[in-house]
Every structure is written in C-alpha cells, then in structure tokens.
Structure 1
Amino acid sequence: MRLNVFTDYCLRTLIYVGVQNDGIVTRGEIATAYAISDNHLMKVMSFLARNGFLDTTRGKGGGMRLSRPAHEMSIGALVRLSEADSPMVECFDREHSTCSISAACRLKGVLNEAMQAFYSVLDRYTLQDLINNPVELNAIFSIPLVQKKH
C-alpha cells in the first residue's frame, strides 16, 4: 500500500509540530523544514485542525500546536481519515467501480485483509511513538530543543 502525498504531509506536519514542546509553529516553518509548498500545507493544516489534531491561531503571533497530547493521537486513525478518499483499488469504491469481475473476484478479499493488517499495525502507534527522538529530529530541522517547564 502506498500512502498519498497528502497523508505523508499530514504525518510530517504532526511530527514537526509534536517535537516543538507545545510551542506555536508556523506554516512557513514547516514548509521550509520539508521544502513543501505553502499552498499544500494550508490544506493539510486545515484538515488536521478540522479533525482535531491541531489547534490554530490566526494573525500576528499565530500558528499551530497539537490539540491534545501526542500519546492520544493514533497514527491509524489519522491515516484512515486522510486516505478515506483514496481506495486501494477501484473495486473498493462501490459507487465508481467499473471492474467487470468484481462479483466473482477473490483478490478484493485478499487486499481487504492486507489493508486491515496494515491499519492494525498503525493502530498500535501514536504520534508520541514517532517523536520520541526530539533531539535528533530538531537537529535535522536545525531547531534547538527547548525543554518543557514542569
């Protein structure tokens, strides 16, 4: 299974925001860090905010931060949401499928089983699992690690 670019950008955005220790992050920072179009990130940010992954603030001093702790953000749930409009194969989209063997095809069942196994693995991980190495990630982003005050 191949994730679409939108899902990839969603995951990378959450990783970037997640390692910032609850600091406000701008779309421009993420665009620069990953060399991603600001226009694409606007759609990603909107999707993540609409689906409860990010809180956003507009205007001067605005930006985004995680809407809840990273350990509460399921990777499987995010991928399901962001891939919802991209069926693995044509026959998974009942409304638009033109496959002539769909009624007798056994491949659909095999692929569905494989997809369920894929999501089962992703469901075992949260954003926290992906950001447990903030020093290394921030070094790549060229951002000094700021420790949370307790």
Structure 2
Amino acid sequence: MTQQGRAERRWPRVAGALLLVAAAIIHFADLGGVGIRYLFVGFVLSGIGMAVGAALLLYRAPRIGWFLGGGTAGLTALGLVLSKTVGLPQLHSEVGKWSKPPEGLVSAVLEAVALLLAAWALTDGFGLRPAASEIRALAPGAAGRQPGGPDQSSPGRP
C-alpha cells in the first residue's frame, strides 16, 4: 500500500495533468516552426516528458508523474528563460523578445505553475520514497512476485 500524501490527492493530480497536457500540446503544435535541430528535439522530448508525466499522475504512479512532469516543465521553462535572456546557439535573435511567439510565454506560465504544484506535492514529508512501490507496481508481472520467490534465483540456495 502506497503512503498517502499531497502527491496522491485527486485535485492536484488532475490540475497538474491538465497543465502538463496543455503545455505539451503547445510544444507539439509549434514543431512545424522549429527549424533548429536541437530545438526541435528539445520540443519533442519536452512534449513527451510532460505527456507521460500527466499520464502517470492520472494512472498509478503520481509521485513519478510529479517528478517527471514537474522536472520536464521546469527544464523547459528554464530553456525559454535562457533563450530570452542570454540566448541559445543559433537563436540569439530571440534575446529580449518575451512576447514572441505568444504561445511561448503561455507555455512558460503553464510550466511554472506545474513545477510549483509538483514541488508542493513532493514536499509533503514522503518525497520520492513511495515511488519505489509505484515502480514495482508498473513493472510487468511484478504484482504476483514475492522477494525470494520461485522466479528469483539465489545462488547457493535450493
């Protein structure tokens, strides 16, 4: 049985999933306008990370979902801040242009709120400790396994 804390509460999970899905949709919708290869890969990975994080929030692994989704959202928002302040390779023309494209700013706000919500959910005293049981529950065939059971070999034991 997984310990219950803020990360397992229904309303933050649904709110977090909605924020992550909205930000992921923005990133996938913007793929056509991304001409720089590393930025294109970043947009794809960001969208996937947030979509998977949202699915985990709504499925059976909320702490992993918070960690993956919140972490991806935070890194993506950081990328936008860096691109608009100090600039990124092949993207120096974007420095100082915070409102262009407008969906970038909307996405950054969604990501920042998702990151703050993830931080709130994961700082409930349980942290990521219960995530180990979530990982075991997601592993194929893990439900019926017992430690030291017949499907695990122990050297020197019959």
Same fold? TM cut 0.5: no
Judging by fraction of residues, say which structure has more helix.
Answer: 2
Report the TM-score, using the length of structure 1 for normalisation. 0.29
Report the TM-score, using the length of structure 2 for normalisation. 0.28
Judging by fraction of residues, say which structure has more strand.
Answer: 1
